[in-house]
Amino acid sequence: MHYLPAALLAFLSILSQVFGGKVLVYPSDGSHWVNMKVLIEELHTRGHYVTVLRASNSWYIKEESPFYTSITVYNSGGIEKELLDAFTKHILVIRREKLSFWTHLSLASEVGTNDLLGHPQTKVFITHRGTNGIQEAIYHGVPILGLPIVFDQPDNLSRMKVRGTAKLVDIAELNRTMFLQALEEVLYNPSYKENMQRLSKLHHDQPMKPLDRAVFWIEFVMRNRGAPHLRTQSFRMSWIDRCYFDSADDSCFVLFCFMIHKIIKFLCFKVVFKKKIKVSD
């Protein structure tokens, strides 16, 4: 019986490697937080202690939550949410004509893209989106009318266009006629919907849900004390290798040989040219 406390302590130490782990999260605001929030809630339900590092002017990351403890970092940049709300409500004027498209248009602050794409009446996703919105569109099988602006958006939407699931419009040349033609093409050409449904089927055909897979790998790192066997070995490289100076040596040697060749060629030409001048004299 005197071995029981030691055995119990060893058992609890093993459990502590998986359950009750401490996770520090530094998420981006906006749509990135929408996905991260789901993961944080799942980690909380599994007994982990989550700490979220948030900016003081964050729109969506709340300072108080039952799922995590927050650390607020002061940030003076960005646009205040109240300013954008005022612009949306008072500057943006939308006419609601009888039985028109605008009758079904409403402004809401708590409706996520995933909820809208999951609605059975959603036919087209008009977006400038990055990877999050594209993944949600693929998940629900909704074709895309893309208006890429900056960063990775043109590349992301071009990849969808190649697969026949999206129609791209250059926002710099956008006008009413061009927009309506692109919208009608995506709406009434069944190939966009069919291709997106095919991608959606491939996306759903996986052995485990993405949330379970994400939680598994987080707990895997906890269980294996940081999983050093998965770390890249590049951090063990010397600074000469990291800065590619070893490759630079080869390049310098080739450049040196090239310069020597040019110098010898120039000297030979100069000597031959002088001899020709003397002979002519």
Query: Which amino acid is it at 34?
Result: V
Phi, psi of 207 (to 5 degrees): -65, -25
204 and 243 part of one domain: no
Question: What domain count does the chain have?
Answer: 2
Q: Which of these, 14, 20, 10, 15, lies nearest to 43 by C-alpha position?
A: 20
pTM of the model: 0.57
pLDDT at 57 exceeding the cut of 60:
yes
Alpha-carbon distance of 16 to 53, in angstroms, equals: 24
DSSP state of 89: I
* pLDDT digits 0-9 by tens, 255-268: 888 898 888 888 88
Please give the structure tokens belonging to residue 66. Answer: 């039952």
Q: How confident is the model at residue 94 (pLDDT cuts 50, 70, 90)?
A: very low
173 in the same domain as 127? yes
pLDDT for residue 281: 55
Lowest mean pLDDT across 35-49, 71-85, 142-156, 177-191 = 71-85
116 and 177, same domain (yes or no): yes
Pairing of strands 49-55, 125-127: unpaired
CA distance 169 to 175: 10
Who wins on pLDDT, 85 or 6? 85
Q: Measured at the alpha carbon of residue 208, what is the angle toward residues 38 and 215, in degrees to the nearest 5?
A: 40
Given a contact cutoff of 8 angstroms between Cβ atoms, the answer to whether 40 and 68 are in contact is yes
Instruction: Quote the pLDDT of residue 197.
Output: 94
The span from the CA of 195 to the CA of 201, in Å, is 10
Are 204 and 247 part of one and the same domain?
Answer: no
pLDDT tens-digit map of 7-46 = 433 444 444 445 578 888 988 877 678 778 889 999 999 8
Decide if 38 is inside a domain.
Answer: no
220-242 per-position pLDDT tens digit: 998 898 888 888 877 777 777 77
CATH number at residue 200: 3.40.50.2000
Domain carrying residue 117: 112-208
Of 162, 192, 208, which closes a domain?
A: 208
Q: What is the dihedral of CA 219, 224, 229, 231, to 10 degrees?
A: 50
Residues 258 and 182 in one domain: no
Give the pLDDT score at 148: 85
Mean pLDDT of the chain: 77
